[in-house]
């Protein structure tokens, strides 16, 4: 199973685009991680206007946190992160500087 937590600034990711984002993210998981990906679970947290800032200005940055099955090498992990970032930018119109993508193993407890 792969889990995602999406933290987005209010107004930056329209509600009507969320189903497409999830669908494309599921496709990336299947393509890069294969059958190991299994089910994909997604949660959304919207940061209200006036509560997220970057460099003293209202933020437009989204955080895409994921947990993936254990044991993927750095080459697979890099491809996964790059593919997720590309999909996010293509679907939301965000730039690379407006999305932070992370992936940790299920067993990681840090």
DSSP assignment of 52-80 equals: -EETTEE---EEEEEEE-TT--HHHHHHH
Instruction: Walk me through the domains of the chain, giving residue ranges and CATH numbers.
Output: 2-105 (3.30.429.10)
Record the pTM: 0.89
> What does each of the 110 residues of the chain score in pLDDT, given as a tens digit?
899 999 999 999 988 899 999 999 999 999 999 877 788 999 999 999 999 999 999 999 999 999 998 888 889 999 999 999 999 999 999 999 999 999 988 776 55
Packed helices 74-92 and 18-33: angle between N→C axes, nearest 10 degrees: 160
């Amino acid at each position: 199973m792969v889990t995602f937590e999406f933290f987005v600034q209010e107004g930056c990711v329209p509600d009507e685009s969320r189903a497409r984002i999830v669908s494309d993210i599921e496709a990336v998981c299947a393509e890069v991680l294969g059958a190991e990906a299994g089910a994909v679970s997604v949660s959304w947290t919207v940061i209200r206007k006036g509560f997220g800032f970057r460099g003293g200005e209202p933020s437009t940055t989204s955080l895409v946190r994921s947990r993936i099955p254990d044991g993927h090498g750095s080459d697979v992990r890099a491809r996964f992160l790059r593919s997720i970032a590309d999909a996010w930018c293509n679907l939301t119109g965000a730039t690379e500087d407006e999305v932070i993508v992370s992936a940790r193993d299920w067993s990681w407890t840090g």
